[in-house]
Structure 1
Amino acid sequence: MKRVLGILLWLAAQAALAQAGDAGDYRLAPRQVAADVWLLEGANADFAPDNGCNIINTAFIDTGDGVVVINTGPSRQYGEQQRRAIASVTAAPVRLVFNLNLHPDYFFGNQAYADVGASALAGTIDGARREGPAYADNLYRLCGNWMRDTEPAPPRHVLTPGRRTIGRHTFDLVRMDGHTADDLVIVDRSAGIVFAGGVAFRERVPTTPHADLKRWLASLDQLQALLRDSGARLLIPSHGPALGSADAIAQTRGYLQWLDARMTQAASQGRDLAEVIAMPVPQAYAHWGAMPAEYLRNVTHLYPAYEDAALGR
């Protein structure tokens, strides 16, 4: 119980710090990872004032027929600075903006691309419209002035999965699910890169507010096959070290299987939520980004369904 209280106090302190946070410079530094492809890497952490809620890896591709942007970050300010970062690399206009899922750091920078309008899968658009105001309340509370003038700007254009060629680059737009109801994975076949979105995390506790663990595990198998069959040389997740050597697919699969087994066993033993939260985490995950806050959220919203199943409800 002391451990649970400590976690809750830590979360309260983070929220309090946010109230004093000042909007500032995200210091976005484009890193070229392949011909025509640049990465903007976020913190491997939880949302916090000291990172401006920037915990996402975004990217852009100068195709030769306009720029393709992948994710627009957690705030209007991020989107505006992202667009300036793009302009520091290429004079080409932004042609397409992709939001890979409905979580706020994937689309809250869309205000900076109002002239283009973002594209996403239908379920992502519906979810962003439905949950955008609640996301905004939460991020303003967590990160204060970094969110100044930010309003939810859901993607406008419904995306159809399939192959698409833009300039020098051929993309496969692949629908998966399990992390959310609609997860977009983008394969840049020309650059040999898979942008895995939230389907795979690297050295970072996966987020689960919209998760279906069984479907997510099936999508990880699909992602593994996609990586193999495409011959891609890099898999870039939206969270965690973008270019780390660790196998993001294997890490995510292992964590989800462990989480499922822990909650199944705990429910069968009649353990309550507080007991599960207080259980020690294996060393393999103890030092991942966003631990323990994300683990606390995983268990808090997923465990009641395991209790219901154990009780036959």
Structure 2
Amino acid sequence: MPPYLPSLSRRRFLQIGAGSLAAAGLIATAPHITAFAQDVNEFMKGPPVPDIKPTQLSDNVWMIYSEDVFPTPGNQGMMCNITFVITDDGVVILDSGGSLQIGEMAIRMIRTVTDKPVIAIFVSHYHGDHWLGNHAFVNEYGQDLPIYAHPHTKTAIEGVQGDLWRSLMERWTEGATLGTRVVAPNRTTNHGDEFRFGEVTLRMHHYGVAHTPSDICMEVVGDRLTYVGDVAMERRIANMDDGSFQGSLDYIDALKAEAGSAIWVPGHGRATDDLMQWNRELFAGIYENCLEAVENMEDMARARERVMADPRVAEKAAETRGFDDNIGRYVSLAYLEAEMAAF
């Protein structure tokens, strides 16, 4: 064991993960130490993820549904839906999940409904709970498996976001995702691109900054269904640290107008017909009140009072998971964005 590694029990080392130790600065940054950390992370592997039976959403689209929306040791990082499309040519994955183990579970479950191989993956954005499962799919279907993402998403995963998210998932799950390797997208896609897989057409949508600068939503044209990733969530506010409230409002308006789907599928939560409208009302209730507070030279505390009094927000508070713990942060982010817009 390298001389700079602190004394840890084997169990604790497994829980934390070598990648997380390196990210936290507990392993020296010398090249041979960094290489050791990477080797250990790949050698050690967290436990299998329990099977989750897929549910059918439309003629061609299925979902492996995640009940949880935050990563914990108990759910082993299973916090993001895995959506897949069965075509004559094979299976197309819309976000592969948050770890090697989750991806392996998804492969097992896909095989319960079809014997067709996976032929492509589409990644909605660079947050790792949506793409770290790529590792399992390239293990099973080859390193050349096409993995598509927006160019900015691809660059972000190849850069700091890749290892950052691998380490975060290890830490949040106390090592349950150990063994997961960063497998970045190897293809790019942009707004308006269409892909034909047998009888199924997928159309890509991107309308600027929403949850992140490079969210791609994937319309399954014939099914009148669109997978929206984290642009909208069912009864939960998306993390907006990398995004924009006004951008989300504009994105939702454009997507609804252009896709016109009857079924909207989020990365977190159930697919519903009112998903986009529900999220738009909540975002507007937060941002418009912050913008009005800024224009009236009111402080952030007053902005929060305005937000909480807005019926679009108040009526959703009780049914929105994590609302009480996060509404202060979202008001803060919206207020800062409103200040930038106003000045």
- Report how far residue 117 of structure 1 moved: 4.2
TM-superposition CA deviations, 1:83-125 (whole Å, max 9, x none): 1211222111111100011111111111112221421110111
* Aligned partner of residue 236 in structure 1, secondary structure: strand
Q: Are residues 1:240 and 2:269 paired?
A: yes
> Is the counterpart of residue 254 in structure 1 residue 281 in structure 2?
yes
Equivalent residue of 2:116, what SS?
Answer: coil
After superposing the two structures, state which structure 1 stretch, 292-301 or 67-76, moved more: 292-301
Match of 1:173 among 180, 192, 204: 204
Change (3 A) 1:218 1:305: closer
Per the alignment, residue 225 of structure 1 pairs with 257
Q: Distance in 2 between matches of 1:154 and 1:297?
A: 30
Which of the pair has more CA radius of gyration?
Answer: 2
**Residue 83 of structure 2 corresponds to which residue in structure 1?**
59
TM-score by length of 1: 0.80
Q: Select 1:99's aligned residue among 95, 98, 123.
A: 123
Greater relative CO, 1 or 2 (CA 8 Å, sep 6+)? 1
Any idea what the Cα deviations from partners look like across 1:115-136, whole Å, max 9, x if unmatched?
A: 2142111011122223122222
Distance 1:207 1:51 in 2: 20
Distance 1:275 1:149, change over 3 A: farther
CA distance in 2, matches of 1:193, 1:143: 32
Report the CA distance between 1:223 and its aligned residue: 1.4
Larger CA deviation: 187-196 vs 287-296: 287-296
Q: Which runs of 5+ in 2 are unaligned?
A: 1-14, 17-45
Deviation of the 1:290 alpha carbon: 3.0
Distance 1:308 1:224, change over 3 A: closer
In 2, Cα distance between equivalents of 1:139 and 1:118: 21
Q: TM-score, normalised by structure 2?
A: 0.74
Code of the residue aligned with 1:188 in structure 2: it is: V
Please name the residue that 1:73 is paired with.
97
Identity of aligned residues (%): 22
Question: How much has 1:164 moved relative to structure 2?
Answer: 2.1
Q: Distance in 2 between matches of 1:62 and 1:139?
A: 29
Q: How many residue pairs are counted as aligned between the two chains?
A: 287
Name the aligned partner's letter for residue 66 of structure 2. G
Q: Which moved more, 1:127-136 or 1:87-96?
A: 127-136
2:247: which partner in 1?
215
Matched residues in 2 for 1:59 and 1:237: separation?
9
Partner Cα separation in structure 2 for residue 163 and residue 126 of structure 1? 22
1:139-198 per-position Cα deviation (integer Å, ceiling 9, x unaligned): 222112321112332212112442221112112122233221112111112222111222
Separation in 2 of the partners of 1:200 and 1:274? 27
Once residues 113 and 54 of structure 1 are traced to their aligned partners in structure 2, the CA distance between those partners, rounded to angstroms, is: 16
Is the CA contact 1:46–1:294 (under 8 Å) kept in the aligned structure 2?
Answer: no
Distance apart, 1:275 and its partner CA: 9.3
How large is the RMSD of aligned CA atoms in angstroms? 2.8
2-structure distance, mates of 1:262, 1:52: 38
1:8 is aligned to none
For residues 24-60 of structure 1, what are the alpha-carbon distances to aligned partners after superposition, in whole Å with 9 as ceiling and x for unaligned? 5242211122223211111253333333332222211
For residues 200-258 of structure 1, the C-alpha deviation after alignment (integer angstroms, 9 at most, x for no partner) is: 22211122121122222111111111243xxx33111212222x45x111111111112
